[in-house]
Amino acid sequence: MNGLHRVRDTFFNGHLLAEVFPSLLRTGLLNTLVLALLASAIGLVAGILLASGLMSRRLVVRVPCRTYVDILRGLPHILSIYLIGQGLPLAGLNVFGTWTYGYAALAIGLTEGSYMAEIFRSGFQSVDPGIVEAARSLGMSHGKAMRLVVVPVGFRRVLPALTGQFILVIKSTALVYLLGLVTGQREMFAIAQDASANDASLTPLVAAGVLYLAITVPLTYAVNAWDRRLRDGRRARPATEPVPQQEALV
């Protein structure tokens, strides 16, 4: 019985659960979602720019973009977030002043941008060359065809993958505790970690894990269903059926 009591007190202490859950919901959950959205917005912009650079015909543009993507994808997330989020202020690059929350979003966003760049690149390169040639035959320049044809069509094709990446962004927010967010800015993991340290119990971390699962598991199933629907729709289209004009020129 003592062993069962120790397991319960360590992982499922009802008193600690009732004490920490309101903070997790009121402060941690909101900050986690806001941080994930800000980081995803930064990652989207960085990903599109990097993907365009990866497909550039100019070596002087392509090589730096490839170097950035390889380095950020090769480093552990925790190291990248620490180097960017802590390194920029220490180096005197006070992009956000004393707003630590901004550095946290930037650190995650720039890291995730390297992954989104490869997602965008694969989506852009999957666009049928015939569509691009049709756009060029209408008098569009290469840059205009990319902006008005390749990017919109390719973006639509990678939406499920991008949504899946957003799930990874949500989980990555747990790493920003390294940056020393103030009390009102703490996300779920930081709140749970502090409570666990103060009470010598892992119950707050279990509660945070349940909330992470409540967000990520439904999103994962939604992304998988969305991806299957898109793939089944493409397979259902006959090979002789022409590409709809609005898909070709949107």
- Mean pLDDT for all residues in the chain: 82
| Alpha carbon separation from 248 to 143, 150, 181, 244 (Å, rounded) | 16, 9, 47, 6
Of the ranges 81-90, 116-125, 134-143, 222-231, the best mean pLDDT one: 116-125
pLDDT at site 199: 79
pLDDT in tens, 75-105: 888 888 888 888 888 888 888 877 778 888 8
Token reading at 68:
């950035």
Give the tens place of pLDDT for each residue, 168-216: 899 888 888 777 777 777 888 888 888 888 878 888 899 999 999 999 8
**Segment among 109-113, 177-181, 237-241 with least mean pLDDT:** 237-241
Q: In the structure, what pLDDT confidence band is assigned to residue 233 with cuts at 50, 70 and 90?
A: low
Percent of the chain at pLDDT > 90 equals: 20
Does 28 have pLDDT greater than 80? yes
Domains of the chain, residue spans: 8-235
Pick the CATH number of 8-235 from 1.10.3720.10, 3.30.2080.10, 1.10.1200.10, 3.30.70.20: 1.10.3720.10
Q: pLDDT higher for 238 or 44?
A: 44
- Per-residue pLDDT band at 65 (split at 50, 70, 90): very high
Looking at residue 92, the DSSP 8-state letter turns out to be T
Q: Torsion over CA of 219, 222, 224 and 229, rounded to 10 degrees?
A: -160
The whole-angstrom separation of Cα 57 and Cα 231 is 31
Is a pLDDT exceeding 80 seen at residue 221? yes
Whole-number Å distance between alpha carbons of 76 and 63: 22
Report whether pLDDT(1) > 60: no
Q: How far apart are CA 51 and CA 53, in angstroms?
A: 5
